Amino acid sequence: MWMDVSHAWHRRRIPAVALLAGALLLAGCTEDLDDGAACPALCPGQNVVVTDTVLEAIAFDTVVTGTPSIGSEGALLLAARGDTIDTRVVMRFDSLTSRITRNGGDSAITAIDSAYLLVRLNPTLTKVTAPVRIDLYDVDTTAADTSVAAVLARFRADRLLGGSTLDTNQVKDSLRVYFDNAKLLALITGRKRLRVGLRVTSTKGAVLSLGSYDVSAPTVLKYDPVPSDTAIDEISVGLRSTTPTDDFELQTDLVDYTIIAAAPALPPPDILSVGGLPARRSYLRFLVPPRILDSSTVLRATLLLTQVPVPLLARTDSTLLLPQLVLAGEEVTDYARAAGLLSAFPVDTLRVSAADSGVKQIEVAAALRQWTTENPYKQQRAIVIRANDEALTIGEARFYSTRAASHLRPRLRVSYSLRTTFGIP
């Protein structure tokens, strides 16, 4: 009933309203607006003026390393590509089962058989084209827990604990790497901890992505404690780290982790790097003119980056780039910390090959629109570009920074129109 009354009232008022609207429309369309922007629906003779400009709007850029921290990776990278790339994996089993219940009583383990690591793989990130050899080393050391050099020094022949050669069809969603039973038994009976290092080799290179403790796909140690009695099940030993005793978070991180023995040389100072080994992020801080952020409507904004090929990496070593807004405030002056305080979702995505070159485009209009609504003294006007598979692959992307020659520097292309209050003048 309400709708009927309103409709009837509307019909009775049409003549007067129509005359008034017509007069105002004529008046509005004869006005020459200085900014050239007017409502096309009201003034068909006038259009919104769109300005397209390219700016050197990057006030500062830098490369940030150390993210993710050791042991906090989503997977473990075990890779080998000649002398160029060599990553190892360390796993800690600090509590080995040395006793079992047998014949109703407690019994010490005096012999073992079929000792192996059951390793779970991420097939998507694993790449092998020829048989691979995985060797196991005793990398236990009294050095500081974070001493990579001390651990790498333990990858030598006299500390070999076993290993397996696997054909390509054996490298699937999981694999078994076998120990020398006698060597593992010596650790068990000696009540010692096992800290095992994995190294892969192959005639054609190999990249294996191993499940980690952090993503609920950890490696398990298994062995048969009574080879002569088939009624006794094999023992499963889970990962455990007992040091450092004064830092529980680090203790947990070091349950399993990746270390880098060899990687491509770091890029020169005029290059921004994303991904790679060790994993890197690029931080870019913007200085956009107030006339664009404060007085205009941003229609499109594109970050233009000139890519540089990464030496020794192939075209198949691609990287999905994720540009994300920095949420840190102006009071955060540590760029490494700011590069870790990011929005949950990227403003765009871009996949590039490590061997690519030329200008690449990343859409960042969402970032500029965010900055128009934020107090510049509260949130940094910056983005961080990181790799989707950060620290999980060898892929890397490199771009010229603001320290390069002027024609190679990052630029911002913006299409915008001056804000206009649309409606009847």
* pLDDT tens-digit series, residues 266-285: 899 899 999 999 999 999 99
Indicate whether 41 belongs to any domain.
no
Token digits of residue 158: 């006299």
Could you tell me the CATH number of the domain that includes residue 363? 2.60.120
Instruction: Tell me: do 386 and 296 sit in the same domain.
Output: yes
Residue 311, pLDDT score: 85
Whole-angstrom Cα distance, residue 208 to residue 219? Answer: 14
Domain boundary among 244, 262, 280: 262
Instruction: Tell me: do 327 and 364 sit in the same domain.
Output: yes
Residue 46, pLDDT score: 55
Is residue 10 predicted with pLDDT exceeding 50?
Answer: no
Phi, psi for residue 261 in degrees, rounded to 5: -95, -35
Token digits of residue 366: 């969402």
Cα-based torsion angle of the residue sequence 284, 285, 286, 290 in order, rounded to the nearest 10 degrees: 170
Q: 347 with 363: CB under 8 angstroms?
A: yes
Instruction: Tell me: do 362 and 395 sit in the same domain.
Output: yes
DSSP string, 320-369: EEEEEEB---TT---HHHHTTSB-SS-S--EEEETT--EEEEEE-HHHHH
Tokens 């006339």 correspond to what residue? 291
For the segment 42-65, the average pLDDT, to the nearest whole number, is 84
Indicate whether 129 belongs to any domain.
yes
Instruction: Tell me: do 386 and 243 sit in the same domain.
Output: no
pLDDT-wise least confident of 34-38, 72-76, 232-236, 322-326: 34-38
Q: What confidence tens digit (pLDDT) does each residue in 77-113 have?
A: 999 998 889 999 999 999 999 999 887 788 999 999 9
Q: Provide the 3-class DSSP secondary structure of residue 160.
A: strand
Instruction: Tell me: do 301 and 241 sit in the same domain.
Output: no
Whole-angstrom Cα distance, residue 80 to residue 63? Answer: 25
Instruction: Tell me: do 147 and 293 sit in the same domain.
Output: no
Please name the residues in contact with 102: beta carbons below 8 A apart, sequence gap of 6 or more. Answer: 226, 229, 232
Q: Which has the closest alpha carbon to 168: 119, 122, 136, 133? A: 133
For the segment 380-398, the average pLDDT, to the nearest whole number, is 94
Instruction: Tell me: do 251 and 395 sit in the same domain.
Output: no
Instruction: Tell me: do 345 and 408 sit in the same domain.
Output: yes
Q: What confidence tens digit (pLDDT) does each residue in 189-236 have?
A: 999 999 999 999 999 999 999 999 988 789 999 999 999 888 889 999
Q: Which has the closest alpha carbon to 284: 152, 387, 376, 401? A: 401
For the segment 170-193, the average pLDDT, to the nearest whole number, is 96
Is residue 287 predicted with pLDDT exceeding 80?
Answer: yes
Indicate whether 295 belongs to any domain.
yes
Please name the residues in contact with 350: beta carbons below 8 A apart, sequence gap of 6 or more. Answer: 320, 321, 323, 360, 361, 362
Instruction: Tell me: do 253 and 278 sit in the same domain.
Output: no
Write out the residue range of the structural domain in which residue 320 sits. 53-66+267-418
Whole-angstrom Cα distance, residue 39 to residue 117? Answer: 70
Residue 44, pLDDT score: 52
Distances from the Cα of 281 to the Cα of 114, 162, 175, angstroms: 44, 37, 33
Indicate whether 71 belongs to any domain.
no
Between 217 and 312, where is the model more confident? 217
The number of domains in the chain is 3
C-alpha 216 chain-centroid distance? 19
Domain boundary among 242, 262, 282: 262
Q: How confident is the model at residue 423 (pLDDT cuts 50, 70, 90)?
A: low
Instruction: Tell me: do 128 and 208 sit in the same domain.
Output: yes
Q: How confident is the model at residue 6 (pLDDT cuts 50, 70, 90)?
A: very low
